[in-house]
Structures are given as structure tokens and as C-alpha cells.
Structure 1
């Protein structure tokens, strides 16, 4: 009973309503995030502002639920969720609606469906998982940044809010059954939860860094740390001066890391404990140190800081869409003056959102509150209006997101319609016997859906081939399996996968079986790429197994292709060292295949377009301004794969670049067909290469 009594005393001490330093801490957190997003080179570790927010949320929410559990012996789930809805949903719904409107007015149609989908992910509070699964894929690396990407942290908190009251209900039930005070199990249970989540965070951060950053389980310990800061016994015996010193130590733990932490580190693993514990220390010592003039709590409690803290939630919501739309309009990152103007605009929008939306819905009218609290009314009746209003608002936003989606969906249906070779010759317009190009035809695929004009390898696991997981019977295309039918293996990265569909087109005229063994973002080499401090050995290790499987299969032809090393630097930030160059890795794999007596052909990489041809076409309406100078498209040094082919006797080399560039320019549209969807060909243009590819490979 003494422990339960201490628990009650500690919780009561933490309930002082006047904690302006917490608002100031929120201001610090949002300031770090905004500066990081505007000028990441100035504050490389500013992303830890999100971690500060998590700790603050845990401190307030867990502390509040613990007090309710201790006092009432239970938790009102309906009341808790209603408070969270009133606090968080109105402002987020307003931002989602504004982003939809801005998307339709300011962004090209090629982005409409992606952002419409992000609206739904954000409404359902699963944006963090969408970001995690997108970011860990190579496809996600080439997509434009979403103006709703920052909703991932809100999703983590909402998922936490969904389960934490249930957590307290279970603890209260266990306490009742064991005859203990209702709050007796809270601290040990929270500590165990924090330790388990922290251990999981360290493990996943070291093995799957990007997934760990967005996952909910790797962030629970940060919220729990805030909760423990609220639940531990009050600092009654700690002098105000000592508390002030501890507060400044906590501030140092928050501020100093922003100058040396980077996203390349395994975050939020053990390194995240520095700002998390620092934030917890500031929260723990704030009340005890408030009488000291030079304490952190007094500095954080000054009016400018508390004002920004008041609007911090809305500021977080608004600043990222403002930045993304500005970058889209400017076509580049903002300069220093532009960044300052964007920060000011975000603050103005945040203030308007706070006073016009947040406060209006967070604090219902006294008359309505009294009516809801009338005796005899059920818990549901008291909060029904909140839930109904939230559901209707969410439904309205979801329906609004369907409109731009459907506009693009109508155009997407065109992708399944076969194009006339006479009207849309594509690459055949520049073949040895050029096809005529009719004037006045609309470009196909429509730029609005070009990003969805994907090769056959985009389906299933055929674009992320893993020799240990993909059965040998999968990823076969072309003619039926008949004895004597020639077999071609296509191996390499996503640039190799582009040539599967042209070969499928060839197989419609001559018997041919095609096996795709391509892995996006993985050149068919035995030397691993690097990115900052990370070495991607998984790719090169799998290539050795893939080569052995190809040798075992004994195909009639092995077709190898891959993106230039300069393309990897531009698209993914990958590089190879002088001690382990990409050329040597290619030589090793090509030699393995040739030593086994296989016929091997290498395709030179396609030219790399400058900018985004899809968005350029949508902006200008015609292709004249959207071409790339050939010197730029083919810049960045020699093609490592072609160089390696020249070092391995018997390897054939084919270069189709004459189908892409002429008179010093690589156009965005050739033969009425859009050439690129990003740095990859549209599948429509790729298939138009089929006749010349067949000749080059001596297939016909």
C-alpha cells in the first residue's frame, strides 16, 4: 500500500496545470523539424524534433491516464478517444483538404493518384507503414516527395493512442484481481514495455534502418520514456538549483545531437536515447526548477516560445505541404530568403489553424458540454456528436480524394488499349527504315499515367528477384514451354527489366521463352555498392547465387543490362570505391557465365534524362522544351557494364542509344510515344524497340 500511496503522491505532483515550459519545449521540437526540412544542411539532426514530440506526448497522455486509473480504478475509453479526436482531427482534416485542393491546382496530374492515396493513408493513420514499405523499395526512391509524408509521426502517435487506454484497462483489471491498488502495476509494466521496445528498436535499426525509422514498435519506448518521467515519484528532495542543472543537462542532450546526428545512422536505435532521455529530464525537472530564474523551464516559458508551442501542432501539419508545393513551383530547393518566407507563411497558417480550427473544436461550447454531461445520459450519448462529426468529416475528405483519383484512372484505362503501330511508331520512327509519324496525335501514354506504364517485372516478385525465395518456375514469360524453344535469361537491375517486354513482343512472332532474374537497384556485379556509411553486401551476395542458377539452367542467351554508375549516384546516392570498382564486379559475373560456355550479350544503358520529362510535358503541353542534351544524358563517364564486357572475351555488346538521341538531343517524345516515366522507359516505348532488339540479338 505504501507503493500505491507513493504513486498517488507522484502523480498528484505532476498535475500542476501551469507548465509553460512544456509549450516552450514543443516550440523547440517543431523549430528543429522546420529548420531541418527547409535547410537540412544547416541542421543535419533536426529530425530528432519528432522524438522530442513523442516524449512530450507520452508524458502528458500516460500521466493523464495513470491519474485516471489510480483515481477511478478504470479508464473511460470513449471519453479518451473523444478528447483525442477533438484535439487532433479537425486541424489534420483541414490540412488534408487543403493539400487536395493544392494538388489539383498546382501539381501535375501524374501526382494526383499518389497524393489521393496518401490522403486515405493519413485518414486511416497508417502513413508510417506506407512510408516504410515505399521507402525500402527501389521504386520509392524515384517517386516525388509527398506533401503528406510527415503524417507518419502522427500515425505512430495515433496507433499508440489506440492501444494505451486498453493497456491501462488491463492493468487495472489485473490489479483488482490481485487485490492491489489500481495504480500499483503501472510503473513496472511501463518500464518493461519501454525496455522491450528499446531492444527492438536497436535490433531493427541495425538490420532494417529505414523500416525501423517509421515502424511503431521502434518508437513506443520514446513515448513510454515520457510516461515514466510523469509517473516516477516527485522530486520532493531535489533542490531547485540541482533540478535546474539537470534541466540544462537535458537541454544539452537535445540540442547538441542535432549537429552530428544524420539519417545515415541506425536511428532510432541506441543513439536516440540521448535526445529522448534529455527531453525526459527537462520534463521531470521543469516544475521543481521553475523558481530558478536561469533554469530551462523559465527560458522555455517565455511568451514567444509558448506561443509557438501553442501552435506547434498546426505548424507541424502545415509546414511540410508548404515546402513541398514551393519546391514543385520553384523547381528547386528554396534559398535562404525563400526558406525564411516559407517558415513565416507556415507560421501564419498555423496561427490561423490554431485559433480558427483547433481551439474551436477542442473546447466545445459550455451549453453543449453541460448537455452532454447531463445525468442519466450514456457514455456514448455524451460523445456521440464528436464521433459522428469526425466520421462524416473523414468521409467527406475521402470522397473528395476520389475525384482526382478517378480523373487519372480514366486515363490509366488507356494503358491496356493496344496502340496502332502506324499512329504510334515510337522507336521505329528512328530505325534504319524509319516509320512515318502522323502529326496531331496525342502523346501516349498520357503523361498523367506514365508512371504506371510499367514492365511485366513490376508485378509480384519478378522485379525484386531473390534466388533464395523466388521458385525456379516463376517469372517466365513469352511462348509456351515446348521442347526446343529458345530460352533467354534477362538479368540485372530495373534497367534490365525494361527489356523483358520487348522480348515478350518478339515472342509473339517467333517461339521464345524469357526468364526475368532482375532485382531493382541491384547491378549484376559481385562488388557491393555503398551509400554514406552503409555497404549493401546483400545485392552482390545474391548475384553470386543467381549466376550459379543461370549456369545450372543453361539458357540459349543471357542478356545483361544495368544503370550506369552515374545514374546510381544521381538516383540513389550509391557509389563504388577504387578498391572495389563496379567494373571489376561486372567482369567477375560475366566471366562466370562465359567460362560456363554460355552466350552472353550486354546492353548499353539507356540515356539518363535530365529533370522529369513527365512533369515537364504536363507543365508545357508539348515536348519541345522537355528534351535532354545528349551530352548530359550520356554524361558521367563510361558505362561500367560495357567496359567490363570489353574485358571478357566472347561477350557481345549492343547499344540502342541511336533510338533515343539525335542531333545532340534526347527528346522526351519519339514517334508520338513518351520515352521516359522517370529514368526508366515507359513500357510503351520499350515495346517499340522490339524489332531492332531482335535484330541486334540475332533472334530473327
Structure 2
């Protein structure tokens, strides 16, 4: 979300030389919807449409302003445009970035420092939207793990738009000059084509790559372009104040109703995004004509409480999300209604302070529009950027130092891990620090995390890739590991085994893709890609004739918690597992299924950081082991010759499943730390009959 430059509460448009307080009220409506959505997503599940409102408003004001400049001067001052953008937007965002860094170090667990430090840099460089798109983040309510800077994605979209739009106008001006036309002759046609192309692409990508579509700049350009067209196209309702007033309320409805009815499961921002976008455009176009009608939407939006919130809406958007995320981290849960109201008031107070002490101080420049003035603006921005970057680098380096410890081999005597609970228990020395250090536990990942070995695609990954263990010994037995990321956890224990017993391990692991032939589904999408690839993978394994196939996967309840996925009654997960395992057995292969691990409660990493010995971080076995049916184990029971390996005795004892066993941190999230996984090697080898 971003706001175009205004002076105080005065916002001007093409068809009005007077103030437009209704636009400030529209900003208040938009930011209010977003704040409520972030505080209580169940109350306003489509509140994210407030961001779309801001995109349209920005396009309306920025494109309208540049079009007037082009018509008046037959040119665009790029330096002046960028200087205004920097003064308007950068100071407040820089203060928030600095505050988030300080809050992260003071209030959050060290395990989160590095990720948030990188988010600061992504936000500073205005590429947070692409970072979110490529990291498969979702735009949903705050949790204890979500970044306090996730909301900077929408700011990045607009910054990228601001970077390009003046050159877009300069190109159109040059084309008009070459054709002997007025400077603005091609602006509306070019905007229309751009909007249509972006809209079509948005529909396509929303149906195929939902997360990418949500955050991508290319799927949002049409919203900004629609705002620009609303500023430039002639009104159709001029002289009809009542009809304009009715149209304005239609526009308000097109924003508010989706806020209640839409959800992040929908293919957004596809075609359905046109509802709030066009509603906003209608409000912007009819606002001037309807002001004479006392009951018009523009009059209601223009009342002082609305314009006040509109004035501070940019700062309110910047501050509210970090406030919520830090509160959730401290509370350990989502805020209750009274707490949510307090957070809203705190956010508004911070926004008001930021507006008066930061935004307004830097916003207006009374000096001459010369290169010296521009240099001052750019020098200020560069200095602040450097300070924030250095501040972000410090916590990054602290964690990087600890991460280097992950490559150090631990003594089996000091850190027995799972061997502390094996058939012949190893002693556990007291007084040693837990390993891996919880602050870097999320980076203690299996070998399959490198390259394409964790996103195995049988059509793209060569058969010669993703081999581990005794790869140089051609006669060594071959073990294929297949399944999702929970299967990938067993590659490193097998690598550890291969140091004593010759073993070649072929990883055919695809994160988020259990080895089933029935597709998972979310509320709006059926993911057939996974099951289709599994069918090909099963044929490849059958043709390769390995000595053993190890299959593992997260339970359906885990997928429901982690990704919101489930399997329908027409294509249950169990049936898909039966089909895939049957294909392997039909080829005469030896198949072993490893039962899914106990599912930890809460965030074990952050809990251990708060409680050094990890004693308060155990999950009751009744909860960790009763997370619904393990469909893979059930499927194995239906097929002759499929063995089942259950390692839960190495995770749970006396009714509890600790977060630390044998001085080793067991979990990094719902996965094992790789350090603990490797300690499973001897027991896994015995269970699989490898010697």
C-alpha cells in the first residue's frame, strides 16, 4: 500500500482544482479494512482488498499529475518526480525499518534475527514483494513466525511502478512528438493496453501460481493503470449529482462487500479483483460531482475523523503490522478483542507521531528545484539507507557466526542425540550447550535442501543427480528415498550409515509432495502436479530396481496445519498411497515405510531459546502422536511385503516428547534438526535391515 503525495489534507484531481477530502476518507476506509483484517482476519477475511484500493488511488493521483505535467510542459521532470517520492515515502519507512530492527533484537528470539535482517534489506531495496513471492509466503494473519516487514510487499509494488512510470510518459511524449501530435495524445490508449495486458496476465497467473500472482508487480499494474484512467477519462455523469452520489455508494459497496466475502483461498488478484478496483475508480470519478448531495459517499468520507485517519494512513499502514507481529510473539497467541483494540490504538498513536514528526518534516521542500536540492534529498536517502543496512548487518553476522558451527562434527559421546534412548542407551554428559544452537536451528537442514534434490521433478532432474553416500562404489546396495520433506529427513541418517556400511542413496524427494497418486487440495485449488509427477517417479523407481525403497511423508493432519491442504472423499490420501506402493511391490521391490514423526506443539526452537534446558518445551505424547491417521502406514498394512518402521520410541518416553534429547535439539519446526536426524542412523539401519 502506498499513498501519492498530497499537501496536508489537500488532494487535487484533474477535474477539480479544489481539495478532495473524500480521497483522504477513502484512504481511511482502505487502511481501516487492512488493519481490521490483520487484527481479526476471521471478522474481515477479505480485508486485503484495502491494498487494492490504495493501488487505484495511487494510480489516480500519480498518473493524473504526470499527465497534467506532460500536457503543460510537453515533458516530465524525472528528477523532480523522484525527489518528491523520496521525501514523501522514504523517511517514515526508514524509521519503521530501524524500529523493527531494534524490536527484533530486544523482543524476538535470535533464531529470527537473520531472516528479519534480510527482510529489512529487501524492504529497503523495494523488492520485498518478489522475496515474498519466491519464498512461497502467504498473505494471511499474523503468527509467531511471520515477518514484521511482510507488509512492505505492497510498498515495493508501488516503488517499482514509480521507478518506471515517468519513463513510460517520456516515451509516449516522444512518440507523440514524432507523430506530430499533442504530448498527451497516446497516454490513454497506452494505459488502456497496459491495463488490459496486466489484467489478462493476472487472471492467468492467479489460476496457476496463486502466491506468485498475489505479490507480483506485473499482476498489479492494471490496478494502478485503472486509477490513472479514472483520472484521465471524461466523466459520464457530469451534471447529475444524485446519480453520482448513488454511484459513489455503489463504489463503497464494491469495496466493503468483498472485504467480508473474499478470502486468500480465492484466485486473487484475478478477475474478482476487478470488483474493489472498479468500485474505487467509481468513487474517485464521482466524488467531485456528488459533493453537493448531503448523503453522498464523498461527503461521508470527507468528514474530519475520516480525513484524519486518511492523513496518517501511510504511517498507520507502516506501523500497524509490526505492532501486531511483535504483540503476537510476546503473547504467544493471536490477540483477543480487547487486546486487538489496544493494538489498534497504539498503532494509530505511532502513526500520528510519525506523520507529524517525520512525514511532514521531510515532505515539503520550499527551496529551488535545482540539482543542489536534488542532491540533498538523494544524499539524505543514501545516508539513511546505509545506516539501516549496517544496522541490519549486525544481527545477521551474529547468527552467521553461530551458523558456522553447523559444519563442525559433534562428538557422539557429548551429543548422543537419539542414541540416548536407543536399545543400548548412551550416557548424556551434563552442562553442555544444546546443539545445534537454537538461533540457527532453521538452517540445520538435510542434504536434499541443496539444489533441486528437495524439489525433485522426474522430468527435469537427471537420473545421475541427487546421489549420496558411497557413490564411488558401484556394487554398493542402492536405497531410494522418496516422498516429501519428511522423507528427506532420512537421507542424512543413511549417509551416516554409509560411512560404516557401503550404501548408495538416491533422493527422489519433493517438498510438499507426499508419494501418493491422489492430489491434495486447498479450499480453491486441486494440486494435480504432485500426483502426476509421483506416477512418473514410481515408474522410474520400478525400472531402476534399487535394493530398497524408503517411503515417508507427513500425515494429512500435518498438511492441514502447515499448508491448509487436505484430500477429498473421492480421492483420499490412503488410496493414493496404496496405488503408489502397489506399483513398487508389483515390480518386485523391497519397500519400507517409515511412520511419520511425532508432531511438536508450538514452536520448539523459540521455546528452547526461552528455556535453556528445554525442559518446559516437551509435547505430551497424547498430542504429538494422536494427530489423525498416518495414511501411509495404513496403506502399507494393506499391501503384502511392505515393512513399517516406527521410530517414535526415540522421540517420546513416559508420556512426553521432549524438545531436547541427548543434548541435541530435536526439532526445527515440524521437521527434525539435521543434527538429531543423523543420530538416528544406527537405529534406522537396524530397522531397515541394513546391517
TM-score range, shorter-chain basis? over 0.9
Provide TM-score, normalisation by structure 2.
0.96
2:673 to 668, 678, 682: 682
Q: Find the counterpart in structure 1 of residue 575 from structure 2.
A: 584
* 1:218 aligned partner: 219
**In structure 2, how many angstroms separate the alpha carbons of the residues matched to 1:142 and 1:496?**
26
2:144 and 2:445 map into 1 onto residues whose CA distance is: 14
1:432 equivalent in alignment to 2:419: no
The SS at the match of 2:397 is helix
1:98 aligns with 2:99: yes
- Equivalent-residue separation in structure 1 for 2:482 and 2:332 (angstroms): 35
Residues 174, 617 of structure 1: alpha-carbon distance in 2 compared, 3 angstrom cutoff: same
Partner of 1:194 in structure 2?
Answer: 195
Aligned to 2:624: 633
What is the deviation of 1:147?
0.2
Match of 1:646 in 2: 637
Deviations 1:510-545 (A, max 9, x none): 211101001111110111112112211111111101
Q: Give the alignment partner of residue 422 of structure 1, picking from 388, 410, 413.
A: 413
Q: Distance in 1 between matches of 2:146 and 2:679?
A: 31
CA distance in 2, matches of 1:621, 1:510: 37
- Counterpart of 1:154 in structure 2 is 155
Which stretch shifts more, 583-592 or 11-20?
Answer: 11-20
Is 2:13–2:61's contact at 8 Å kept on the other side of the alignment? no
Q: Does 1:480 align with 2:481?
A: no
Match of 1:608 in 2: 599
Asked whether the equivalents of residues 497 and 682 of structure 2 are also in contact (C-alpha less than 8 Å), the reply is: yes
Please give the per-residue CA displacement for 1:271-306, whole angstroms capped at 9, x wherever unaligned: 010110010000001111111111111110000000
Gap change, CA 1:624 and 1:14, over 3 Å in 2: same
Give unpaired runs (5+ residues) of structure 1. 1-10, 374-378
Matches within 5 A, 1:207-356: 207-234=208-235, 237-356=238-357
Query: Are 2:482 and 1:503 aligned?
Result: no
Deviation at 1:578, TM superposition (A): 2.8
| Counterpart mapping for 1:51-90 below 5 A | 51-90=52-91
Q: Deviations over 1:409-468 (max 9, x none)?
A: 111110011101110011111111111110000000000000000000001111111111
In the TM superposition, what are the counterparts of 1:403-552 in structure 2 within 5 Å?
Answer: 403-552=394-543
Match of 2:393 in 1: 402
CA distance in 2, matches of 1:162, 1:423: 56
| Corresponding position of 2:546 | 555
Q: Structure 2 vs 1, CA of residues 242 and 500 (structure 1 numbering), >3 Å: closer, same or farther?
A: same
CA contact (8 A) 1:58 1:227 kept: yes
Q: CA deviation at 1:241?
A: 1.7
Q: Could you say what secondary structure the match of 2:222 adopts?
A: helix
Cα pair 1:44 1:262 within 8 Å, conserved: yes
TM-score, length basis structure 1? 0.95
| Counterpart position of 1:3 | none
Distance 1:203 1:332, change over 3 A: same
Q: Give the drift of 1:666.
A: 0.5
The 1-side partners of 2:270 and 2:653 are apart by 51
Question: What CA distance in whole angstroms lies between the structure 2 residues aligned with 1:640 and 1:483?
Answer: 35
From the superposition, tell whether residues 19 and 554 of structure 1 become closer, same or farther in structure 2 (CA, over 3 Å): same
For 2:252 and 2:685, the matched residues in 1 are separated by 66
Tell me the number of residue pairs that the alignment of Structure 1 and Structure 2 aligns.
677
**Is 1:47 the counterpart of 2:48 in the alignment?**
yes
Are the counterparts in 2 of residues 132 and 214 from structure 1 also a CA contact under 8 Å?
Answer: yes
Q: CA deviation at 1:552?
A: 1.1
Q: Distance in 1 between matches of 2:417 and 2:673?
A: 11
Distance 1:361 1:638, change over 3 A: same
The alpha-carbon deviation at position 238 of structure 1 amounts to: 3.3
* Pairwise CA distance, 1:646: 0.8
Tell me, in whole angstroms, the C-alpha distance in 2 between the residues paired with 1:689 and 1:292: 75
**Aligned-residue offset at 1:622:** 2.1
Q: What SS is found at the alignment partner of 1:625?
A: helix
| CA distance 1:548–1:136, change in 2 (3 Å) | farther
Which residue of structure 2 aligns with residue 109 of structure 1? 110
- Contact preservation (8 Å) 1:610, 1:633: yes
* Aligned mates of 1:257, 1:571 — CA distance in 2: 26
Deviations 1:241-298 (A, max 9, x none): 2211211111111111112111111111110101100100000011111111111111
- The answer to whether the 8 Å contact 1:14/1:234 transfers is no
Structure 1 contact 246–285 (Cα < 8 Å) conserved: yes
* C-alpha distance in structure 1 between counterparts of 2:208 and 2:557, whole Å: 27
Give the Cα–Cα distance (whole angstroms) in 1 for the partners of residues 440 and 590 of structure 2.
37
Residues 136 and 211 in structure 1, CA contact (< 8 A), matched pair in contact too: no
Instruction: Name the SS for the 1:652 alignment partner.
Output: strand
Aligned-pair distance for 1:481? 3.6
Shift of 1:112: 0.2
Report the equivalent of 2:146.
Answer: 145
Q: 1:465 to 1:236 in 2, by over 3 A?
A: closer
TM-aligned CA deviation for residue 136 of structure 1: 6.2
Question: What is the CA–CA distance in structure 1 between the aligned matches of 2:377 and 2:393, rounded to whole Å?
Answer: 24
For 2:16 and 2:157, how far apart are their aligned partners in 1? 25
Instruction: Measure how far apart 1:142 and its partner are.
Output: 10
How far 1:601 sits from its partner (Å)? 0.5
Check conservation: 1:476, 1:513, Cα contact below 8 A. yes
Note closer, same or farther for the CA distance 1:253–1:40 as it changes in structure 2 (3 Å cut): same
Q: Does structure 1 retain, via aligned residues, the 8 Å contact 2:493–2:678?
A: yes
> SS of the counterpart of 2:615?
coil
Is the alpha carbon distance of 1:512 and 1:389 closer, same or farther for their aligned partners in structure 2, counting shifts above 3 Å? Answer: same
Q: Hey, what's the Cα distance between the residues in 2 that align with 1:639 and 1:83?
A: 59
Q: Which runs of 5+ in 2 are unaligned?
A: 1-11
Q: What is the CA–CA distance in structure 1 between the aligned matches of 2:293 and 2:88, rounded to whole Å?
A: 32
Q: Among residues 560, 570, 573, which one is paired with 2:564 in the alignment?
A: 573
SS in 2 for 1:409: helix
1:567-612 CA-partner distances (Å, limit 9, x unpaired): 1122122112233221111111110000100010110111110011
Show structure 1 runs of 4+ deviating over 3 A: 234-238
| Contact preservation (8 Å) 1:492, 1:517 | yes
1:317 positional shift: 0.3
Paired residues of 2:160 and 2:217 also in contact (CA < 8 A): yes
